[in-house]
Amino acid sequence: NAGVMQNPRHLVRRRGQEARLRCSPMKGHSHVYWYRQLPEEGLKFMVYLQKENIIDESGMPKERFSAEFPKEGPSILRIQQVVRGDSAAYFCASSPTATAKNIQYFGAGTRLSVL
Amino acid sequence: GQNIDQPTEMTATEGAIVQINCTYQTSGFNGLFWYQQHAGEAPTFLSYNVLDGLEEKGRFSSFLSRSKGYSYLLLKELQMKDSASYLCAPAGTASKLTFGTGTRLQVTL
């Protein structure tokens, strides 16, 4: 059973470009969470999605950031017009249900560098 | 809001025991997770506590006191590979995890 798959592992973008980060949850998991980790800081919740629905986006910046989890295919975190402050590690986690005791399993992350 | 406090760094000797403390203030508490994160890697699950008391799992144990907003992770028989960051994460509503900055543990010979 493959774990949570994220790609790319490393992504380099110039200021103003778009970044697309992909996350395929573990098999059988329909709940996806995105977290951002800035250098020397803790993981910060961004958004929680189920298939075709955004459940909680309270941690998403108001502009330039969007997320989706379509019926088919991976979850996508999209950052438009990237700025240097977007440079961070972005982690995706998945769980089978949304009850609190369900463990969130993390992918290896995408490290975004904005030049 | 959420507030989590852990020591930033700790150092311990191989074979020793170390306790990593975590205090938290959170709304909608639904248990507390501990994760291990090696540099440049994904966080991996260690333990989950929802009731008060001690949960033991091999060399790792975790304790929770809900009334005090306090948890600790106990690592026994330390090994070099235990050098990592340890993340305390209370679960809130809809399983949203809130992480502290983590405790960086250095195990020395």
From chain B, pick out residues whose CB is under 8 angstroms from the CB of A103: 33, 45, 48
Residues of A with CB under 8 A from a CB of B: 4, 31, 33, 35, 40-45, 48, 55-56, 58, 91, 95, 98-109
The pLDDT tens digits of the residues spanning A43-82 come to 999 999 998 899 999 999 999 999 999 999 999 999 999 9
User: Does residue A39 or residue B38 have the better pLDDT?
Assistant: B38
Phi-psi domain of B104 (left: phi exceeds 0; alpha: psi -120 through 50; beta: other) = beta
B65–chain A Cβ distance below 8 A for any pair: no
From chain B, pick out residues whose CB is under 8 angstroms from the CB of A45: 96-98
What is the reported pLDDT for A67?
97
Could you state, in chain order, the average pLDDT of each consecutive group of 10 residues for chain B (109 residues)? 87 97 88 92 92 94 95 97 95 78 94
